[in-house]
Chains A and B, each alone.
Chain A
């Protein structure tokens, strides 16, 4: 390289260019060997790269992923929508709602729509703080994709009718997801297909969620 040439002639002028030339070569080889020794150490070290998606991602408990929404507690008060800096929470209701003290379920007007536009959402968690009934949380789902922008709008009211509280990632539809994902998928499926057995807590809760979006009988 030109600049290297220019430099060593200048730097080595007092010591003699020939000596400086060989000094440079020696130093280069020496420092590279020092670096090589460090690299060599890691040749025998344990691999630390996580092979996602074959291995499940290691998410921390406070991870801010796609929201986890408990619709049966939501009173459609608009506090979360007002706190959202990008205005991506859409709420529609037919009348005021109130949480029933005994059952913990919101009743009153019909909640016709609760949707979040994830094309806009920046996962800042500001919507979580003001909620009076603590029904919206940041979930641990980090992988969701869609083919169009409209795919990114998640209708939580529609999900609630199926008994779901978070959107379903696209990989669930793939034929052969990796092992960790298969396990998650199985849990999800079980959650979805056991609609008639109202035994477990999960199922009871799902029924409540469905009720929360259905008109009062």
Chain B
């Protein structure tokens, strides 16, 4: 690779790294990490400017998974576009479906029946748990812990079974669609779901004992890649990375959609070491906080699902005529809280059945941008720790 073809701002000088007189003088080296690197969760290429073990600069290069998802949205009716939203953040298909459906409903003034709303909450929270489980498992994997990954995937498999029972697919659900949900819950599903929640709650302690409080893991991730409140806001972070920096901002709480205001839950944030069970090495906004916020969010999701199951109203699960919508002239921008942050859909209608413009704001895309800031003057082994803790899904970064 020709270094001159890569544009890199040179604001870190070698003087900032401690090189003493008499040391062997070394050259900077450009290293390509990815696109097929196991710790980048997809096809992400990170160009690292290294000096020995130190990384002076890390620039993410994206675009390997670009599939023109936005343009496709401008050629299909909204209900036909739902299967494509599954394929953006493929670990959280339900949440993506919900985001786009909400945007279209708000544009058309379509009212979702209460049962449809409750089903949406249940499924998007289940999907949040499934997505966080992948995130925890693979983060452990990045840090060299293989066992938690297997346990996380075992539980995730059970959630996928629940999804399969309801909608017939295990990854690309297309279940939450315009006007509500595609089908009603199958018979006995509610009991199965309750059974799973009871079982799952006991397992969270296992993850904590296996990984969260493992001293090697704690040492690898605490005080690494610290993002301050100020930085988090300026770089437009959302989701767990933002909350780990200590800001209690969750769209489900501050701008409730689909009836989230009916449920009682907490928004976990990153807390300094020493409070409660948190190891004393922890600094607010470091990789460990970002990891642990996800663990705490899973417990909150369980709480929400329990309440939604208890309050599940009878009636319709989908509004009538939700597949023959005419999009009125006008535009909406709707954001929902995805497991990775705020997923926004901008939809513009022109009176026909097909949107004039569709634009997606991907949380992974925005969160990924901060790697250039945090992966500066860190050790090479910390780069996977930082990127993994931000938890990006490349399908949604590139769309």
Q: Does B224 contact A (CB under 8 A)?
A: yes
By the criterion CB–CB under 8 Å, are A7 and B223 in contact?
Answer: yes
Instruction: Give bound CA distance, A130 to B84, whole Å.
Output: 19
Q: Contact string, A63-107, partner B, CB cutoff 8 A, digits 1/0?
A: 110000000000000000001010000000000000000000000
By the criterion CB–CB under 8 Å, are A125 and B224 in contact?
Answer: no
* Segment from B29-37, B106-114, B130-138, B209-217 that makes contact with A: B209-217
By the criterion CB–CB under 8 Å, are B381 and A1 in contact?
Answer: yes
By the criterion CB–CB under 8 Å, are A126 and B83 in contact?
Answer: yes
By the criterion CB–CB under 8 Å, are A35 and B210 in contact?
Answer: yes
By the criterion CB–CB under 8 Å, are A3 and B224 in contact?
Answer: yes
* Residues of B bordering A, CB below 8 Å: 53, 76, 79-84, 147, 154, 161, 164-169, 172, 174, 182-183, 186, 206, 209-211, 213-216, 219-220, 222-224, 281, 323, 379, 381-382
By the criterion CB–CB under 8 Å, are B165 and A30 in contact?
Answer: no
From A11, A31, A122, contact of B213 by CB (8 A): A31
Residues of A within 8 A of B381 (CB): 1-3
By the criterion CB–CB under 8 Å, are A38 and B210 in contact?
Answer: yes
Give the distance to chain B from A142, nearest Cβ to Cβ, in Å: 10
Give the distance to chain A from B53, nearest Cβ to Cβ, in Å: 6
Q: Does A18 contact B (CB under 8 A)?
A: no
Residues of A within 8 A of B164 (CB): 59-60, 62-63
Cβ contacts A to B, 14 pairs, < 8 Å: A3-B379, A7-B281, A27-B215, A32-B214, A34-B213, A39-B210, A48-B154, A62-B186, A85-B84, A123-B172, A124-B82, A124-B83, A124-B174, A126-B174
Residues of B within 8 A of A1 (CB): 220, 381
By the criterion CB–CB under 8 Å, are B215 and A138 in contact?
Answer: no
Give the distance to chain A from B157, nearest Cβ to Cβ, in Å: 9
Residues of B within 8 A of A129 (CB): 323
Residues of A within 8 A of B379 (CB): 2-3
Instruction: Give bound CA distance, A210 to B244, whole Å.
Output: 64
Q: Contact string, A1-39, partner B, CB cutoff 8 A, digits 1/0?
A: 111100110010000000000001001101110110011
Residues of B within 8 A of A83 (CB): 80
Residues of A within 8 A of B154 (CB): 48
Residues of A within 8 A of B174 (CB): 124-126
Residues of A within 8 A of B215 (CB): 24, 27-28, 30-32
A residues contacting the other copy or chain, number (CB 8 A): 34
From A2, A85, A126, A130, contact of B53 by CB (8 A): A2
By the criterion CB–CB under 8 Å, are B147 and A39 in contact?
Answer: yes
From B80, B161, B224, contact of A126 by CB (8 A): B80
4 more contacts with CB within 8 A, not counting A2-B379, A28-B216, A35-B210, are A3-B379, A7-B281, A11-B281, A63-B168
Nearest 9 interchain pairs by C-beta = A64-B168, A124-B83, A85-B80, A62-B168, A27-B215, A28-B215, A60-B165, A60-B164, A35-B210
Residues of B within 8 A of A85 (CB): 76, 80-81, 83-84
Give the distance to chain A from B50, nearest Cβ to Cβ, in Å: 14
Residues of B within 8 A of A24 (CB): 215, 219
Q: Which of B81, B183, B216 has the most CB of A within 10 A?
A: B216
Question: Which partner residue on chain A sits nearest B82 by CB separation?
Answer: A124
Instruction: Give bound CA distance, A123 to B79, whole Å.
Output: 14
Residues of A within 8 A of B168 (CB): 60, 62-64, 125, 138
Instruction: Give bound CA distance, A2 to B224, whole Å.
Output: 13
Give the distance to chain A from B153, nearest Cβ to Cβ, in Å: 11
Q: Which of B168, B209, B214, B219 has the most CB of A within 10 A?
A: B168
Which A127-180 residues have a C-beta within 8 angstroms of B? 129-130, 138
Instruction: Give bound CA distance, A1 to B222, whole Å.
Output: 14
Instruction: Give bound CA distance, A61 to B381, whole Å.
Output: 46
From A4, A34, A64, contact of B169 by CB (8 A): A64
Instruction: Give bound CA distance, A11 to B168, whole Å.
Output: 52
Residues of A within 8 A of B211 (CB): 35
By the criterion CB–CB under 8 Å, are A7 and B219 in contact?
Answer: yes
Residues of B within 8 A of A8 (CB): 219
Question: Which partner residue on chain A sits nearest B172 by CB separation?
Answer: A122
By the criterion CB–CB under 8 Å, are B161 and A60 in contact?
Answer: yes
Residues of B within 8 A of A62 (CB): 164-168, 183, 186
Give the distance to chain A from B95, nearest Cβ to Cβ, in Å: 17
By the criterion CB–CB under 8 Å, are A38 and B219 in contact?
Answer: no
Instruction: Give bound CA distance, A8 to B53, whole Å.
Output: 19
Question: Which partner residue on chain A sits nearest B174 by CB separation?
Answer: A124
Question: Which partner residue on chain A sits nearest B212 by CB separation?
Answer: A31
Instruction: Give bound CA distance, A60 to B312, whole Å.
Output: 23
Residues of A within 8 A of B172 (CB): 122-124
Give the distance to chain A from B220, nearest Cβ to Cβ, in Å: 7
Given A3-B381, A122-B172: A35 and B214 interface contact (C-beta under 8 Å):
yes
Residues of B within 8 A of A59 (CB): 164
Give the distance to chain B from A50, nearest Cβ to Cβ, in Å: 10
Instruction: Give bound CA distance, A150 to B166, whole Å.
Output: 32
Q: Which of A83, A123, A125 has the most CB of B within 10 A?
A: A125
Instruction: Give bound CA distance, A28 to B210, whole Å.
Output: 12
By the criterion CB–CB under 8 Å, are B219 and A35 in contact?
Answer: no
Instruction: Give bound CA distance, A129 to B222, whole Å.
Output: 51
By the criterion CB–CB under 8 Å, are B281 and A31 in contact?
Answer: no
Residues of A within 8 A of B220 (CB): 1, 3-4
Residues of A within 8 A of B216 (CB): 28, 31-32
Instruction: Give bound CA distance, A22 to B161, whole Å.
Output: 46
